[in-house]
Amino acid sequence: MAAEESIPARPRGQRKVPRAVREPQMLEMAGRIFAARGFHDASMDEIAEAAGVSKPMLYSYFGSKDGLYFAYVNAAYRELIAAIDEAVAMAGSDPEEQLRLGTVAYYTYVDEHRHAFRVLFREIGDPGGELASQRHRLVRRVGAAIEAMVVAAEARPWQPVDTEVLAEAWIGAARSLADWWLDHPDISAEAMTHRLLDLMLGGVRGFCNAP
C-alpha cells in the first residue's frame, strides 16, 4: 500500500480557474481533511486554506459544510463505481474474470484513495439516496456474475442459489478486508485481491459442484 497521505496546501491567488477544474480541486482537499479530522472536527477555514481558495468561495460552490461533504462523497463513490465498471468491461463475458478484475479495481482504488475510503466507509457507513442506488447497481452486477458462474457450471437445480445474498457477502467481505488493510499498509493491492478471491470464490464454486 502507498505511503500515508499528507494534506498539501494549494497556493492562493489562482484566478479565473474554470469551475470544472476548481471544483474537483476543492473536493479533493475537502476529502483529505474529512478523512483526517472527521466531519465534525473538519473546518471550512482549514479546507479553504488547503484548497487555496477563500471560505466564501467554498460556500458559493457548496452552500454549507454538509453540502461540501455530500458533494465529495457522491463524487468519490461515482469514481469508485466507474473504476469497477471499466475493469469489469475488460473481462468480456467471463464471469469469474469479471469478479477478479472488479476486485482488482476496488483494491487499487482503495490503495490510491485511502482518504476517500475512510470517508465513504468509516465515516458514513451505509449510504443512502443516490449512493444507495449506485451500491444496489454494484450488488446486481456482482450477483449477475455469480449467477453466470453457477449457470455455466450447471449447478444443482434443486438447490436454489440466492445470488443477491452471495453478492452482499462478497461486497461486505471486500469492504471489511479493505478496512483491515488500512491498518496493515505493508500488504500490496494484488495480495489483498488474492485474499478475497481465495476466500469468496471457493464458496461460490461450492454451489457449482454437483454432489
Residue type at 135 in one-letter notation: R
Q: Is 28 within a domain?
A: no
What percent of the chain shows pLDDT beyond 70? 80
- Kindly tell me the number of DSSP H helices and DSSP E strands found in the chain: 9, 0
The pair phi, psi for residue 20, each rounded to 5°, is: -65, -20
Per-residue pLDDT tens for 190-200? 899 999 988 88
Cα–Cα distance measured from residue 180 to residue 177, given in angstroms and rounded to the nearest whole number: 5
- 151 Cα distance to chain centroid: 29
| pLDDT at 99 exceeding the cut of 90 | no
Higher pLDDT among residues 211 and 133, named by residue: 133
pLDDT of 105 higher than 60? yes
Integer Cα distance of 181 and 25 in angstroms: 27
**Average pLDDT of the chain, as a whole number:** 83
* Residue 193 is assigned to a structural domain of this protein: yes
Q: How confident is the model at residue 209 (pLDDT cuts 50, 70, 90)?
A: low
State which residues form the domain around 191.
73-206
Residue 81 domain-assigned (yes or no): yes
| 22 falls within a domain | no
For residue 158, what pLDDT is reported?
47
Burial (CB count within 10 angstroms: exposed 0-12, middle 13-18, buried 19+), residue 197? middle
How many structural domains compose the chain?
1
Q: What is the pLDDT of residue 124?
A: 62
CA–centroid distance for 144 within its chain: 20
Q: Is the pLDDT of residue 102 over 50?
A: yes
Look at residue 195 and tell me if it is in a domain: yes
Which residue did the predictor score with more confidence, 152 or 20?
Answer: 20
Task: Return the CATH number at 111.
Answer: 1.10.357.10
Domain-embedded: residue 125? yes
The per-residue pLDDT for 210 is 45
Contact 123, 41 (CB under 8 A): no
Give a yes or no: residue 1 inside a domain. Answer: no
Rounded Cα–Cα distance for residues 155 and 173 (Å): 24
More confident: 58 or 95: 58
> What's the whole-number mean pLDDT along residues 68-90?
91
Residue 201, C-alpha cell as written in the block: 470464490
Residue 165: its pLDDT value, please? 82
Q: Is residue 196 part of a domain?
A: yes
Highest mean pLDDT among 49-63, 73-87, 112-126, 196-210: 49-63
pLDDT confidence of residue 143: 79
- The residue that leads in pLDDT, 142 or 87, is 87
Pick the residue with more confidence: 27 or 203?
Answer: 27
Q: How far apart are the first and last CA of the chain?
A: 41
Task: Tell me how far the alpha carbon of residue 142 is from its chain's centroid.
Answer: 14
